[in-house]
Amino acid sequence: MVKVDEQLEAKPQNIVPRGRQGTRETPYSLQVASELLETYGSPLYVYEGETLRQTIQQIAQSIPYRHKQFHFASVTNGNISLLQIFREAGWGLHANTPGDAYLALKAGFAPQKIVYSGSNLRPAEMAQLLEWGVPTFNFDSISQLQQFCDVYQNQNLSPNLTRLGLRLNLPAVTGESRIGVRPAEFPAAVKIAQAAGLQIRGLHFYRGTGTNATKAFTQVINEVMATAKLLPDWEYLDFGGGFGYPYDRDGAAFDWEMFGQELTQQLAQLGREIQLVIEPGRAAIAGCGSLLAKIISVKWQESKQILGVDTTVANISVPAVHGGYREIFCWQETGETYRTDVCGNTTYSRDYLGKNCQLPALQIGDIIAILDVGAYGYAMSYHFLHRPLPAEVLLEGGRDRLIRQREDYKVLVDNQIFT
């Protein structure tokens, strides 16, 4: 794995949450939060459309390279209304699974705007993706490539419509990973593609999710390009995914400007133009989402405040599964703050939304916002603990719009067969 400068190394994800007064602008006013909960109920996912559009623009403008295409990685958030914002901004979509591609089509993306880089597809799923018109596939293994070529040959498609790439596995660059193809396997891959009348035209690099150390990307550009040159028909470079989001305002933040400049300079040294694909997930969408919840119980254990809220770790899942706790915001004027645990509405021993936060003394009925949950938030929520999932609302231009219904208990029995 590439060694990254000490001072740029990202802090571990498991950040300690704090109350947010003064550390960031209020996402929206308490009045808005109250009205939203009154209208749509609690808990509630709220996405700020303007914030999302600004982030999309900032990321897109940070890379001067001319032949580039951004594809939003919908593994992080599959809400159609949000996907449509990416589509309107001219982005394509990055699919990890056939479900991602399905959502992209539902959101109105042209199939040509979908890049597929997933693992372990069944032949029937490959056929489905081809039928939907997905053109670009980055394969994770030689055996998947071979199966795809078999499926492809049975479909009678025009070779110009399909672009094949390989996901890179190079421990010195990608770290130890189960995913990807080693350079020593490239000649075999090229032969398999050629036998089906196709070419390996792309190399796909994924640095690993949530990387805030910009140099972890920039230091490997050269090596990734040198590896890509081993592919005789190389014409596109897909550089991931994996860009971090500064959940911890005092920690490292991925530097898009530096990354864009460096990447553009190094690509210019190739002496020819290739196509650059960038597929940000959390970096694009984490910051626009918050989860509103209400305090429903307060107790004190000595000087520690224990807040019970009407949401659960299963509605958000980030603390349990994908990195650390997120910051918890409340609107009370900053006075004295107390060490506080924020606990979910189940008895599951890990049902904490925040641990050891510094929050003011709160009352039953007060509202909190769990910040930066636009990525891997709703998308990773689940029915463990049997609480139906929250609704989602989009705030834009001073208006709010329901973009996903709250589930009710019916969802718990929908697919069950019983007498």
**CA–CA dist 179, 119 (Å, integer):** 8
Contact call for residues 412 and 388 (beta carbons, < 8 A): yes
**CA–CA dist 172, 334 (Å, integer):** 48
Pick from 16, 13, 45: nearest CA to 340: 16
Instruction: Between 216 and 375, name the residue whose CB sits nearer to ligand PLP.
Output: 375
**Which span sits near ligand PLP by CB under 6 A: 49-57, 69-77, 103-111, 142-150?**
69-77
Instruction: Between 94 and 201, name the residue whose CB sits nearer to ligand PLP.
Output: 94
Name, in order, each residue with C-beta under 8 angstroms of 215's C-beta and a sequence gap of 6 or more: 4, 5, 8
Contact call for residues 108 and 72 (beta carbons, < 8 A): no
Please give the residues from 76 up to 95 whose contact with ligand PLP meets the rule CB under 6 A.
76, 94
**Residue 142 is inside which H or E element, if any?**
helix 142-153
Q: Would you count residue 280 as binding ligand PLP (CB under 6 A)?
A: yes
Quick one: tokens of 269? Answer: 């040294």
Among 202, 281, 344, 354, the residue binding ligand PLP under the rule CB under 6 A is 281
Pick from 311, 290, 313, 310: nearest CA to 371: 290
Among 163, 215, 282, 387, the residue binding ligand PLP under the rule CB under 6 A is 282
Q: How far is the CB of 82 from ligand PLP (least distance, A)?
A: 14
Q: How far is the CB of 35 from ligand PLP (least distance, A)?
A: 31
Q: Would you count residue 96 as binding ligand PLP (CB under 6 A)?
A: yes
Among 42, 117, 311, 312, the residue binding ligand PLP under the rule CB under 6 A is 117
**Residue 201 is inside which H or E element, if any?**
strand 200-204
The footprint of ligand PLP on this chain (CB under 6 A) covers a number of residues equal to 19
Pick from 290, 318, 313: nearest CA to 384: 313
Q: How far is the CB of 168 from ligand PLP (least distance, A)?
A: 11
Among 78, 180, 242, 289, the residue binding ligand PLP under the rule CB under 6 A is 242
Q: How far is the CB of 75 from ligand PLP (least distance, A)?
A: 5
**CA–CA dist 84, 297 (Å, integer):** 38
Please give the residues from 173 up to 212 whose contact with ligand PLP meets the rule CB under 6 A.
206, 209-210
Instruction: Between 317 and 340, name the residue whose CB sits nearer to ligand PLP.
Output: 317
Among 28, 45, 234, 243, the residue binding ligand PLP under the rule CB under 6 A is 243
Pick from 212, 207, 224: nearest CA to 266: 224
Backbone angles phi, psi at 288, to 5 degrees: -90, -5
Q: Would you count residue 256 as binding ligand PLP (CB under 6 A)?
A: no
Q: Would you count residue 315 as binding ligand PLP (CB under 6 A)?
A: no
Q: Would you count residue 101 as binding ligand PLP (CB under 6 A)?
A: no
Contact call for residues 294 and 37 (beta carbons, < 8 A): yes
How remote is the C-alpha of 119 from its chain's centroid? 17
Instruction: Between 279 and 392, name the residue whose CB sits nearer to ligand PLP.
Output: 279
Which chain residues interact with ligand PLP by CB under 6 A?
73, 75-76, 94, 96, 117, 206, 209-210, 240-243, 279-283, 375
